[in-house]
Amino acid sequence: MSPSSPALDPRGARRYIGLGPRLRYRLYPLTLLVGVVISLGLPAVFYAAEYALRARTATGDAREFASELAEALSEGPEEGAPSLEGRAAVFRGVVGVFLVGHDAMSVSVLDRAGLPVRGFAHATPGREAWWSIRPVVGSAPLVVRGRALGTVEVAFSQSAIVALSALLLLVSTAAGAGLAAFIYTSALRTATAMDEQIGTLVGSLERSTAESEQLRAAAEESEQNYRELVQGIDAIVWALDVATRGFVFVSRRAEALLGYPVERWIEEPGFWPARIHEGDRERVLGVVKAVMGDGQDREVEYRASAADGRLLWLRDHLHLVQEEAGRPRQLRGLITDVTGHRKTEEALERSREEYRSVVDSIQQVIYRTDARGRWIFLSAAWVEATGFAVEESLGRSFLDFVHPEDRLRHAELFQPLMGGAAGHLGREVRYRTRAGGTRWMEVYARVTTDERGRITGTFGTLTDVTERKQAEEELVSTRERLRHLLASSPAVIHSRQVGDGFGVTFVSENVSRLFGWEAEELLEDPGGWERLVHPDDGPGMVARRALILEEGQQIHEHRLLCRDGAYRWVQDEWRVVRDPAGQPLEVVGTVVDVTDRRQAEEARARLSSAVEQASDSIVITSPEGTIVYVNPAFERATGYSRDEVIGQDLRGLKQAEDGSGFGEAFQPGAARAEPWAGRLTGKRRDGTLTEEEVTLSPVWDANGRLVNRVALLRDVTRERRMEEQLRQSQKMEAVGRLAGGVAHDFNNVLTVITGRCHFLKQRVGGDSTATRDVTLIHDAALRAAALTRQLLAFSRRQVLEMRVLDVNSVVAQMEKMLRRLIGEDIDLVTVPAQDLGCVRADPGQLEQVLLNLIVNARDAMPRGGRITIETASVIGGAEDGPAGSPPGPHTVLAVSDNGCGMDPETLSHIFEPFFTTKGRDRGTGLGLATVYGIVTQSGGHIAVESEPGRGTVFRIYLPRVDEPPDALPASAAGVEARGGRETILLTEDAQELRDLAREVLAQRGYQVLAAADGTAALAVAAQHPGPIHLLLTDVVMPRMSGRELAEELTARHPGLKVLYMSGYTDDAVLRHGVLRSAVAFLQKPFGPGVLARKVREILDAPPAGGQPEAPAAQASGAGGR
C-alpha cells in the first residue's frame, strides 16, 4: 500500500463509515489519545494540535461518543453510504498496522542486519514481544514471536498508522462483537494475503467486553491527559492554514520560550516570519516550499529573535496535512529550542576542527588501525609524505604501502605487539609513494584496547626521516671523502683550545707530507707549533692571537720551519667556533703553503714597478684588442687617463698605414699571434697627432692559449720630425751646392758685365740710345745678381754680415712698407713683446725673411683677411721650440694669417726650392726656401702650423743674446770713392774679372800687380822692389787658396792688408759664409764703384794688431774661380 491510498487516510475512513460532523469532531480526541498511547512519537504531537483545534466544539466524553458511534453503525448506512462490507473494507490490510501500534504489544526498530537499534524499542512489562516491524518506506524484516517470517514491503506513514489504529480500536469497542468480528474477519483476509502466518495473531484481538470497557475508560481518561500533554510539551506546536496563510493554533510554549503572546502569532499577519533572522529567511522559505511541493516532512534550523532581543536557534519540524484530493490543507510544525544544543554542537565542531587542525598541522603522520592492521584514520601529513589520498588509503592494510623488501620484517616486528606484548614499537621502514619513490618512515605504534582489555588496533605516528637517513648516509660518505681530501689537501687543518696558550688539539695528517712533521709530534708538545714560527714573525702572530676571540676571524702570513730546516711562507687562517649561546668553543685554522705565491707576487711586483716606471707607453689588451691596462707613461704621452681608455679598442686610438698589418693582427684568424712591429699615428687627448713606433707581442698562458697582447709604444714624433728636417736639409744641401756652384761662376760673369757696362756708359757719352741699352744690360745683370743672392741664401752659402739686432725695431722699421705691400683689404696687426731681448743676425737678411713671409701670407688671402706679426721670448728652447732647436732662451718672430691654409702634403714641400702653389708666372718657388736658408744659416729654426681653411702660422726661433743692439752702418751708396797711389797685388783666376778689376783700380791711380793664382802672386810679390799695401785675392783658386796666399804674404810683408772677394764662401774661417768683423770681404758680383770704395775703406782703416786674418781658400781643383 502507498501512503496516499484512501484506505490509509483517516478522513477517508470517516467518510466511508458515514459519520456526521459532530461525531467526527468527537473522534479526534480519541484519535489523539490512542495515537499517544500507541506511538509516543512525533505524530502524536500533530494530532494533539488537531485536538486543540477540534475539541472546542466536541461535547460529551468518550463513552457518549462510543454510544453515538454504536447507534450510527447499528442504524445502517445512510443513503449513498457503503455497506457494512464496504465500510469494513476500509480496514483491510491494517491488522498489521494495528498490531504494530498496539500499546499492549512490544514495539522495536531493527537494523538491516536484524539487530535491535538501541533506544528504539519498548515493551509492556509482563508481556511477550509479539512482533516488531520498522515503519519506514523500504524493506524491513518481520518477526513473530521471535521467528523470522520474511521481508514485507511496508509504506505506512506514521500519521496514517496512528489514525487507522485508533479508529479500528474505537469501532471494535463501540460497535459490538458482531461488527468487530466482521471487521476482524475482513482484516484477517487482507492480512492473510500479506502473509498466511499472520493469521496466528488474530486471536489476540478477541478480547473480552471487560477489556473493551477498560479501554474505553482509559480513552476517556486520556482525553484530559492529552489536553495537558499538548500544552505541557517542551516545544511550540503550531498549525497554519494554507488557504489563509495565517496561524490557527500556537501552543502556550511560544510565550514562555520567545516572550511573544500567542495572540500576536494568530492575529498579526507576517508576525513570525519577521522574527526569523534575515540571513535564514530565504532558506526557511525554501524548506516550506519543498514540503508544500511533495508533502514530505522536513526539519529546518534557523535563528529567530526573542522579545528580549536574544537570538535563538530553533529547530522546526514541518508536516503537511492534505485533503482527500491531495490538496494541502494545513501546515503544522513543532518548534524546539536548540540554542544550547547548537552551541554545544558548534563548540564540539570547533573542538573537532581544532583537533583536526592540530593533527593536520603536525608534520608527523598520525594514524589508527583496526585489529587487522587496516587504516581507520590518517592525518593530512599522510598525503604530503606519500602522495596517496586519505580516502583511498583508509580500509587498506598498512603493509600495502610498505616497500616490498621491508614488508616481511615489518610484519614480524608488529606480530609480538599485536599478540599482546607490552610496550610500543619504534622502527624505520621504507614506505612507497604514489610517484613510485620511497620515503623512510620512523614508525611508532601502541596497541589500543577496549574496556575488556581486548586489542582493537594500533595508534601511532609515522615520521618522515628520509632527509635524516640521507643526511646520515651523506655524513658517512662525507667523512670518508673528508679523510681522503685532508690527506691530499694542500691545507693543513688544525684546531686549538680556547684559553691559556691556545694549545693545538688537532692537526691533519697531511702536515707530514707538506712540512715533514708528524701530527703526533705537534700534539704531544703543546707549544711545538709556535716554536716552528720564524723568530721575526712570532711576536706579530702572538699579538694577532690575542684579538682572535674579539674579531672572530684572522688571516696572517708567516714563515714556518720545515723538518729539512728550510722556512716556507704559509697563510694561517683562524676562525672561532661558538656554541648557540655565543660562547667560544675552539679555534679552527687552515695552514696553506704560499711560498710560490709570495715569490710570484714579488716577481710580479718587480715587473709591475718596472712597467709602471717605464718611460715608454705600455698597453695590455685582450686578444681582440680591448685595452685592459695602460701604464702612467701612456697617460702622460696621450693625455688620456687610465679610466678613460680601459675597455676601448686600441685600434680606435691608433691609425696604421694601409698595408701595415696592425689591424689584421687582432683578427680571430691571427691565432698564430706573431709579434708585430711598425709605425702608427696616434691621437692625443687634445687632438694633436703623434708618430709612434709600436711593438705588439702575444701573451700565452700555461695551456698555450692566447690570453693577452702587450703593446710597447714609443713617441717618435720629434725624431720623425727631425728625420724629415734632416732629409729636407740634405735635399736642400744638395740643391744648394749645385745652386751655389752655379751662382759663383755666374757672379764672376755678372761682375764683368756690370763693370764693362760702367765703362761703356762712360764711353758712349751723350748717345742716348746707346746709354739706354747699356743701362738695360746693367739692370738685367743686377736682377740676375739678385737671383744668385737668393740661390746663395737658401743654400746657406751667402756671406752674412751679423749684427746684434732688436727684432721689434726691425719690425717697426718695416711696418709702413709692409702695409703698402699687402694692400688695403688685409689688416696688419703687430703684437711686440716687452723685454724681448736681442738676436745676432744680418739685418738685411732678417728683413728679407719678414718680407717673404708677409708676401706669402698675402697671397694666401686673395679675398682679404688679417696678418699678425708677433714677437715673444721662450725659455726652454729645445722643449718649447721646434725639434732640433738647442736649449736656451730664444726670441720668436711669428707671422700668422687666416688664409686658405695648407694640407699636410703641401706642408711637407714648402721649403723646397722652386716649389710653388701659385701657378705659372706667379712665383719662383724660392721665397720660403730663402727664408729657410737665412734662418738656419743664422743659427735659428723655423716651425709651421697650418690646416686647410684655418690659416697658417710661421714661427722663427733665433737664439737670444744678452748684448745691446749694434748701430746699423750708414749706406755709402752714391758716394764716389777717391783713388790713391798704393800698390795692390790682385790675384784672380778668372782673367776677365782680373782684367776688369785691374782697369778699375788703375783708373783711380793705384799701382796694380796682377797674378792668375797664388803661386804667381808670390812670384810677383817677390820680384816687386817696393812695398805692397793691399792683397786683393779670390778665396778659391787652383793650387793655393786665397787664405794660404794671404798667410804667406803677410808673413813676408807685416803691414800688408787683405781684401777677400768671392762668388760664395764656405771656408771654415768664415764659418761657412758668416763674415767676421776682422775679415774684409767683397761679395761678387760688384760694380767698379763698390770695388773702389771697398779698397779705399780697407786702405784707410787703421792697421789691426798683429797680422791681418785672411780666409783660407779651399782648392776646388778647377780653375777660373
Per residue in 617-646, pLDDT (tens digit) is 899 998 888 999 999 988 988 888 989 889
Residue 390 lies in a domain: yes
Report the domain count for the chain.
7
* pLDDT for 1056: 93
Same-domain pairing of 247 and 322: yes
Structural contact between residues 319 and 333, judged by C-beta atoms closer than 8 angstroms:
yes
Same domain, 1096 and 1070: yes
The sheet with strand 147-154 has its strands ordered as 131-132, 138-144, 147-154
- Tell me: do 494 and 573 sit in the same domain: yes
What does the pLDDT read at residue 688?
81
Q: Is residue 789 part of a domain?
A: no
Q: Is the pLDDT of residue 672 over 60?
A: no
pLDDT in tens, 553-610: 888 888 989 999 899 999 888 888 888 888 888 888 889 889 888 888 888 888 888 8
Mean pLDDT confidence for 299-328: 91
Position 828 confidence tier, pLDDT thresholds 50, 70, 90: very high
Q: Is residue 564 located within the same domain as residue 633?
A: no
CA 1000/CA 108 separation, integer angstroms: 183
Q: Do residue 560 and residue 499 come from a single domain?
A: yes
Q: At residue 530, does pLDDT exceed 70? A: yes
Distance CA 981, CA 727 (A): 53
CB burial class (10 A; 0-12, 13-18, 19+) of residue 256? exposed
Q: By residue range, what is the domain housing residue 681?
A: 614-715
β-pairing, 654-656 vs 375-378, is unpaired
Residue 992 CA to residue 1008 CA, distance in Å, equals 15
Cα–Cα distance between 84 and 817 in angstroms, integer? 172
| Contact between residue 1001 and residue 1028 where contact means Cβ atoms under 8 Å apart | no
pLDDT reading at 543 higher than 60: yes
The residue type found at 186 is: S
Looking at residue 174, what is its pLDDT?
42
How many H helices and E strands in the chain?
37, 40
The pLDDT tens digits for 220-260 are 666 566 556 666 778 898 999 988 889 988 888 889 899 99
Helix, strand, coil percentages, rounded to 5, for the chain = 45, 25, 30
Answer with the one of 542, 568, 598 that is the final residue of a domain. Answer: 598
Q: Is residue 734 part of a domain?
A: no
- Find the mean pLDDT for residues 201-207: 39
Q: Are residues 621 and 592 in the same domain?
A: no
- Please check whether residues 53 and 162 belong to one and the same domain: yes
Cell of 466: 628520509
Last residue of a domain, one of 232, 263, 289: 232
Contact 369, 457 (CB under 8 A): yes
In a domain, 749, yes or no: no
pLDDT number for residue 919 = 60
Question: Rounded CA gap, 567 and 578, in Å?
Answer: 33
What pLDDT score does 315 carry? 93
Q: What is the pLDDT of residue 695?
A: 86
Residues 494, 620, single domain; the answer is: no
Mind listing the pLDDT tens digit for each residue in 921-970? 556 667 788 888 888 888 888 999 988 888 999 999 999 998 888 765 55
561: domain CATH number is 3.30.450.20
Mean per-residue pLDDT for 15-28?
A: 35
DSSP 8-state assignment for residue 394 = T
Nine cell digits for residue 578: 661558538
Average pLDDT of span 297-304: 93
Q: Does pLDDT of 655 surpass 80?
A: no
Maximum average pLDDT range among 348-357, 840-849, 1025-1034, 1085-1094: 1025-1034
Rounded Cα distance, 1076 and 1073, in Å = 9
Residue 1014 has pLDDT above 50, yes or no: yes
Rg for the chain, CA atoms, rounded:
73
- Whether the per-residue pLDDT at 898 is higher than 80: the answer is yes
Does residue 904 sit in the same domain as residue 955? yes
pLDDT per residue over 140-181, tens digit each? 333 333 333 333 333 333 333 444 444 444 444 444 444 444
> For the segment 473-525, what is each residue's pLDDT rounded down to a tens digit?
888 887 777 777 777 778 888 888 887 667 888 888 888 888 888 888 888 87
Residue 664, pLDDT score: 59
Q: Mean pLDDT for the chain?
A: 73
pLDDT on residue 763: 79
Least confident residue range of 58-67, 811-820, 841-850, 887-896 = 58-67
Q: How far apart are CA 401 and CA 407, in angstroms?
A: 9
CA-to-CA distance for 637 and 618, rounded, in angstroms? 11
Judge if 943 and 1046 occupy the same domain: no
Average pLDDT over residues 1028-1046: 89
In this predicted structure, what is the pLDDT of residue 61?
Answer: 36
Q: Which residues contact 636 (CB under 8 A, 6 or more apart)?
A: none
Question: 356-365, 709-718, 949-958: lowest mean pLDDT where?
Answer: 356-365
Q: How confident is the model at residue 388 (pLDDT cuts 50, 70, 90)?
A: very high
Q: Are residues 808 and 942 in the same domain?
A: yes
Model confidence band, residue 58 (pLDDT cutoffs 50, 70, 90): very low
What angle is formed at CA 419 by the lines to CA 416 and CA 425, rounded to 5 degrees? 40
Does residue 791 sit within a domain? no
- What pLDDT does residue 224 have? 64
Above 80 in pLDDT, residue 43? no
- 131/152 Cα distance (integer angstroms): 13
**What is residue 144's predicted lDDT score, i.e. its pLDDT?**
32
- Give CA–CA dist 431/438, Å, rounded: 5
Give CA–CA dist 510/508, Å, rounded: 6
**701 within a domain of the structure (yes/no):** yes
**One domain, residues 208 and 251:** no
Look at residue 218 in the predicted model and tell me its pLDDT: 65
Q: Does a structural domain hold residue 721?
A: no
Q: What is the CATH number of the domain that holds 856?
A: 3.30.565.10
pLDDT for residue 82: 39
The CATH number for 994's domain is 3.40.50.2300
From residue 1087, alpha-carbon distances to 277, 798, 977, 1091 in Å are 147, 18, 12, 6
Rounded alpha-carbon distances, angstroms, from residue 996 to 752, 833, 874, 1060, 1086: 7, 50, 51, 16, 11
User: Highest mean pLDDT range out of 410-419, 671-680, 1001-1010, 1035-1044?
Assistant: 1001-1010
Q: Which residue has the higher pLDDT, 427 or 1043?
A: 1043
Task: Transcribe 596-646 into DSSP letters.
Answer: HHHHHHHHHHHHHHHHHH-SSEEEEE-TTSBEEEE-HHHHHHH---HHHHT
Q: How far apart are CA 219 and CA 217, in angstroms?
A: 5
Residue 192 lies in a domain: yes
pLDDT at 9 exceeding the cut of 60:
no
685, 638 contact by CB (below 8 A): yes
Place 424 in a pLDDT band, splitting at 50, 70 and 90. Answer: low
